[in-house]
């Protein structure tokens, strides 16, 4: 390594430009620190939030959940449906509402496709348009069983 000590013959000139390299380095380090610490900061402490009175401007119909067990039993909002005609009557009563409520189908993972397909057929016969399937996300521990 060599070092220039300087000589008395040459007088160093005044540097007229700003060296921005250290500034950019510092800013990149700060950016990386913020990106790493933000997920840690966003974890909140569990607190009870105050209740707010919210008056909706328009009423939305209650969503209906139809559950199908692995035995093929059908439940309408946690109430057992005894026959296909009762299910069709309930569907027809709900299908005429404006706006039409959404139907959520919760089918057991071990249920026959025939049972869930039968519910879909009855929903189609009754005139329902909005049908959703409720599933568990892949990351859930129960899905690995």
Report how far residue 100's alpha carbon sits from residue 126's, in angstroms, rounded to the nearest whole number: 12
Using CB atoms within 10 Å of the CB of residue 45, give its burial: 0 to 12 exposed, 13 to 18 middle, 19+ buried: exposed
Whole-structure pTM value: 0.55
- What is the pLDDT at residue 1? 47
**Reduced to 3 states, what is the DSSP secondary structure of residue 25?**
helix
Q: What is the pLDDT of residues 127-142, one digit of tens each?
A: 999 899 888 876 554 5
Mean pLDDT computed over every residue of the chain: 81
Task: Judge whether residue 121 has pLDDT over 80.
Answer: yes
Q: How far from chain centre, in Å, is Cα 145?
A: 23
Position 38 confidence tier, pLDDT thresholds 50, 70, 90: confident
Position 13 confidence tier, pLDDT thresholds 50, 70, 90: confident
Q: What is the mean pLDDT of residues 94-122?
A: 92
- What is the pLDDT at residue 60? 63
Domains in the chain (CATH in brackets) are 64-136 (3.30.420.270)
Q: What is the mean pLDDT of residues 23-52?
A: 77
- Residue 59: CB atoms within 10 Å: 7
Given the structure tokens 């309408």, which residue do they identify? Answer: 76
Phi, psi of 11 (to 5 degrees): -100, 125
Report how far residue 12's alpha carbon sits from residue 17's, in angstroms, rounded to the nearest whole number: 15
Report how far residue 121's alpha carbon sits from residue 101's, in angstroms, rounded to the nearest whole number: 17
Rg over alpha carbons for the chain, rounded to the nearest Å, is 33
Q: What is the pLDDT of residues 59-81, one digit of tens each?
A: 566 889 999 999 999 999 999 99
End-to-end CA distance of the chain: 66
Task: Judge whether residue 86 has pLDDT over 80.
Answer: yes
- What is the pLDDT at residue 34? 85
- Encoded tokens for 47: 């607190």
- What is the pLDDT at residue 8? 56
């Amino acid at each position: 390594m060599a070092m220039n000590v300087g000589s008395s013959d040459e007088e160093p000139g005044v540097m007229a430009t700003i060296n921005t390299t250290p500034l950019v380095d510092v800013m990149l380090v700060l950016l990386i620190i913020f990106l790493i610490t933000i997920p840690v900061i966003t974890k909140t402490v569990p607190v009870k939030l105050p209740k707010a009175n919210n008056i909706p401007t328009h009423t939305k119909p209650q969503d209906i959940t139809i559950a199908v067990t692995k035995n093929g039993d059908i439940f309408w909002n946690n109430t057992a449906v005894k026959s296909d005609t009762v299910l069709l009557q309930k569907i027809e009563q709900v299908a005429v509402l404006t706006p039409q409520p959404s139907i959520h189908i919760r089918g057991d993972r071990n249920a026959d496709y025939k049972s869930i397909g039968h519910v879909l057929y009855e929903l189609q016969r009754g005139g329902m348009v909005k049908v959703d399937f409720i599933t568990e996300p892949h990351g859930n521990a129960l899905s690995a069983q």
